Chain A
Amino acid sequence: MSVSTAAREPNVFARIVRHRADYLYIAPALGVMLLVIGYPIYDTIYLSFFNTPPSLAMADKIFVGTDNYVRILTSEAFLDVTINTLIWTAFSTFFAFALGLGAALALDRQFVGRGLLRGILLIPYVISAVAAAYIWRWLYHSDFGVIGALAVASGITDRPINFLDNVDTSLPSLIVVNVWKEFSFAMIMMLAGLQTVPEQLHRAAQVDGAGVFQRFWHITMPHLKGVTLVTVLLLLVANLNSFTIPWIMTAGGPAGSSDIWITAIYQLAFERIRFGVASAYSVILFVVMMSMGYFYVRALTGKDEATPG
């Protein structure tokens, strides 16, 4: 499959006309996409070149060129938020994937109650992030939280652990919630991937005396390459974009310790009503996302070649 099929065609226009009925099939999807995505992208890029202070109406916004970009990229807060974002994204993705892969491997055999167990593990993934955020906020509660109380009751600490009201622990605490919420997405993807590993290869390798690790590394993993790439990329994108959990639990606090790009953008746009700067921030995020999108597409196309049938 090659992206340049159409380009190689001598008479593109004639082909388009010949295939005009085909476009009817995708027209609804494209129409919705263009409307709900095309316009916002245009508007965001346009606004990113303006200053929109709270004392001015939008109509009176001031053109400032690339000023917003310069200001964001050179600010100290941007560095802090970027580091938080990297930590959040990298750790969430890593642990969600690792747990998900582990769960998939553990579930990849027949046993009684397997379907039920898989279903149970998927519950956090399907419940709403708002509910998850509140459940964990309550578990973590610095005064009445059960985790802190358990730690005291079991003698681990002498006072309740302060998870969310503490600059050192707020971000890791949120990552745990995020991993809880999405590890089973990785699990189900990898579980599906495992089904594509030919059984005969495993048997043959076992006959040859290969151990569990060797079989995993030399037989299972190569087959999972494509799905791994897609899963990791989907997790990365989801984590870079995740808003509800950090917002409801700490709103970026305390003292900015759990502020990530998305929460910073929301705060700029909706609490400090700086749409211009917020838009510029968003465009920067777009650029990062698009470069990841490039790898995403590459992973999808590459997979077709890597895994036959």
Chain B
Amino acid sequence: MRARVHGDRGWGIARVVFLALLTLFTLLPMVWMLLTSMKTQFAASQYPPEWWPRNVTFEQYFILLSPANETGREFLRYMFNSLWVSFATTVLSVMVAVPAAYAFSRFRFPGRNLLFYSVLLRNMFPAVVFLMPLFILMRWLHLVNTELSLILTYLTFGLPLSIWLLKGFYDNIPAQLEQAARIDGATRFQAFIQIVMPLSSPGIIATAIYSFILAWNEYVYALTFLNDKSKLTLPVGLQRFFTEYTTNWPGLMAASFITSVPVVVLFLVLQKYFVRALTEGAVKA
């Protein structure tokens, strides 16, 4: 990032105040989530609330993460399912988006623009509207109650942005590099694999994070397509935790926290790729 020359002191102060307030707005809800998760269920249903838990307990975390009890086993199961579905979606997304984006960027086949924008229009369709027809479709494909039904659906959520992001990236990679490789005897495909792929890795990583987060957090389809308790993913599991297991607010908050950790960590570690992909790919174009 470039340092930028900026003026007045007043603006500097305003900037700091604004950022401080924004950070509080962002963090305070999560602080309360953490504090609540460390209370007992009794302490959580008090008015006025205990501002600071009097008896700090990690009971909810033990229950959720210990394979020794039923809740823990279930929760870990959901987490594993979420990991699996998100991972599979991510891998497939990259495998599908990379060649498509490359083709849209490099090739001049008839219908290219039309197809490109049709893909982007996927975002226009509300997920809820497709629940029933997709369920019937999945049933027809014998995929109801399988993780594959989710993976297939999630794939289409992430594709538009992924393809768009990657296409911007490929647009920025000079075609001469490939031409040079091809003169050296590489096929078009080899040139793509050996030259273009490595150069676009930030875009691919960004695409991967994006797909992973989408899949990790999706709720409505997971709710509709899966019945088998042993196949549920975390967001649905979270809701079960609330509706079924009494209103265990500390437990729910602990579960929310645990659910959030993987994506937050992943994103914090890899965010620079995401920003870079947006900057060099999509936005700059």
Query: Which residue numbers of A lie inside 8 Å of B, CB to CB?
Result: 1-3, 5-6, 9, 12, 15-16, 19, 22-26, 28-30, 32-33, 35-37, 39-41, 43-44, 99, 102-103, 105-110, 114-124, 126-131, 134-136, 138-139, 143-144, 146, 149, 152-153, 160, 180, 184, 188-189, 191-193, 195-196, 199, 202-203, 206, 211-212, 226-227, 234, 237, 240-241, 243-244, 248, 262, 265-266, 269-270, 275, 278, 282, 285-286, 289-290, 292-293, 296-297, 300, 303-304, 307, 309
Which of B29, B264, B283 touches A192 (beta carbons < 8 Å)? B283
Query: Which residue numbers of B lie inside 8 Å of A, CB to CB?
Result: 1-8, 11, 15, 18-19, 22-23, 25-27, 29-30, 32-33, 36, 44-49, 95-97, 99-100, 102-104, 107-115, 117-134, 136-137, 152-153, 155-156, 159, 163-164, 213, 216-217, 219-220, 234-236, 238-239, 242, 249, 252-253, 256, 259-260, 263-264, 267-268, 271-272, 274-275, 278-279, 282-285
Secondary structure dominating the interface of B: helix
Which of B7, B49, B213 touches A126 (beta carbons < 8 Å)? B213
A160 cross-chain contacts in B, Cβ below 8 A: 47
A300 cross-chain contacts in B, Cβ below 8 A: 117, 120, 164
> Would you call B112 and A130 a contact (CB within 8 A)?
no
- Closest-by-CB residue of A relative to B2 is A199
> Would you call A1 and B274 a contact (CB within 8 A)?
no
A241 cross-chain contacts in B, Cβ below 8 A: 125-128
> Would you call A138 and B216 a contact (CB within 8 A)?
no
> Would you call B238 and A131 a contact (CB within 8 A)?
yes
> Would you call A40 and B133 a contact (CB within 8 A)?
yes
> Would you call A6 and B128 a contact (CB within 8 A)?
no
A265 cross-chain contacts in B, Cβ below 8 A: 126, 128-129
Q: Bound complex: CA of A194 vs CA of B234, how far in Å?
A: 36
* Cross-chain pairs A/B with CB under 8 angstroms, 17 sampled: A19-B107, A22-B107, A26-B99, A29-B99, A41-B125, A43-B136, A118-B271, A122-B267, A136-B29, A146-B32, A195-B279, A227-B283, A243-B128, A278-B132, A285-B126, A286-B125, A300-B120
Among the interface residues A19, A40, A107, A116, which one has the most CB atoms of the partner chain B within 10 A?
A: A40
Shortest C-beta distance, B8 to chain A (Å), equals 6
- Closest-by-CB residue of A relative to B258 is A131
Secondary structure dominating the interface of A: helix
Nearest 3 CB-CB pairings of A with B:
A25-B103, A19-B109, A40-B133
Q: Bound complex: CA of A137 vs CA of B133, how far in Å?
A: 31
> Would you call B220 and A128 a contact (CB within 8 A)?
no
> Would you call B239 and A237 a contact (CB within 8 A)?
no
> Would you call A43 and B29 a contact (CB within 8 A)?
no
Q: Bound complex: CA of A241 vs CA of B126, how far in Å?
A: 5
> Would you call B238 and A128 a contact (CB within 8 A)?
yes
Which of B1, B6, B159, B285 touches A304 (beta carbons < 8 Å)? B285
Which of A33, A40, A41, A286 touches B119 (beta carbons < 8 Å)? A33
> Would you call A296 and B112 a contact (CB within 8 A)?
no
> Would you call A131 and B260 a contact (CB within 8 A)?
yes
> Would you call A29 and B119 a contact (CB within 8 A)?
yes
- Closest-by-CB residue of B relative to A42 is B133
Q: Bound complex: CA of A146 vs CA of B216, how far in Å?
A: 29
Shortest C-beta distance, A58 to chain B (Å), equals 9
Q: Bound complex: CA of A40 vs CA of B140, how far in Å?
A: 13
B1 cross-chain contacts in A, Cβ below 8 A: 108-110, 114, 195
> Would you call B8 and A212 a contact (CB within 8 A)?
yes
Shortest C-beta distance, A271 to chain B (Å), equals 12
> Would you call B285 and A130 a contact (CB within 8 A)?
no
> Would you call A149 and B49 a contact (CB within 8 A)?
yes
Which of A30, A117, A127, A275 touches B217 (beta carbons < 8 Å)? A127
> Would you call A206 and B109 a contact (CB within 8 A)?
no
Q: Bound complex: CA of A109 vs CA of B6, how far in Å?
A: 9
Q: Bound complex: CA of A123 vs CA of B23, how far in Å?
A: 11
Q: Bound complex: CA of A241 vs CA of B121, how far in Å?
A: 13
> Would you call A99 and B22 a contact (CB within 8 A)?
yes
Q: Bound complex: CA of A227 vs CA of B220, how far in Å?
A: 30
B118 cross-chain contacts in A, Cβ below 8 A: 33
- Further pairs besides A29-B96, A180-B29: 14, Cβ < 8 Å: A3-B114, A25-B107, A33-B156, A121-B22, A122-B267, A123-B30, A126-B217, A128-B219, A130-B238, A144-B45, A243-B220, A265-B126, A289-B126, A309-B284
Shortest C-beta distance, A260 to chain B (Å), equals 11
Which of B119, B129, B131, B159 touches A285 (beta carbons < 8 Å)? B129
Q: Bound complex: CA of A184 vs CA of B26, how far in Å?
A: 10
A40 cross-chain contacts in B, Cβ below 8 A: 125, 129-130, 133-134, 137
- Closest-by-CB residue of A relative to B27 is A120
Task: Using known A-B contacts A128-B238, A293-B124, determine if residue A36 contacts B156 with beta carbons closer than 8 Å.
Answer: yes
- Closest-by-CB residue of B relative to A304 is B285
Which of A5, A35, A115, A143 touches B47 (beta carbons < 8 Å)? A143
Q: Bound complex: CA of A102 vs CA of B129, how far in Å?
A: 34
A278 cross-chain contacts in B, Cβ below 8 A: 132
- Closest-by-CB residue of A relative to B103 is A25
